[in-house]
Amino acid sequence: MAKLGHPVLFCHELEINAQGVITDYKLRQPDQKRKAVQALQSLNFEVIAAGDSYNDLTMLQSADHGVLYCPPDKMRAEYPNFPVAWNHSELQQEFMKLGIQ
């Protein structure tokens, strides 16, 4: 974390037993990605979200703009309304289409 400048992290909590094995997890908040988008929107931010799997879907749907990043074929077929990026260059191109450099 020192190399990243000690950023603020909002993480889920892992339960670890005496042997150091992860035995469970506790979410900070259900559907936290969608709620984070909504919170930013409530502050009048325009939100662009990129996600790669079904657990990102409510975030993508709530954002002002959503991009699927290297999604599974099934997800891409089920949600053709989202643009798809297969690498960072393509993701950057999608952002540039929105006027983001």
Please state, in angstroms and rounded to a whole number, the distance separating the CA atoms of residues 60 and 68: 8
Question: What pTM value is reported for the model?
Answer: 0.76
- What is the Cα–Cα distance from 15 to 24, expressed in whole angstroms? 5
pLDDT tens-digit readout, 30-71: 999 999 999 999 999 999 999 999 999 999 999 999 999 999
Domains present along the chain, CATH in parentheses: 14-97 (3.40.50.1000)
55-77 burial: b if 16+ Cβ within 10 Å, else e: ebbbbbebbebbbbbebeeebee
3-state helix, strand, coil in the chain (%, to 5): 40, 20, 40
Does pLDDT of 11 surpass 80? no
Q: What is the pLDDT of residue 66?
A: 96
Alpha-carbon distance of 5 to 48, in angstroms, equals 24
The rounded distance, in Å, linking the Cα atoms of 99 and 95 is 7
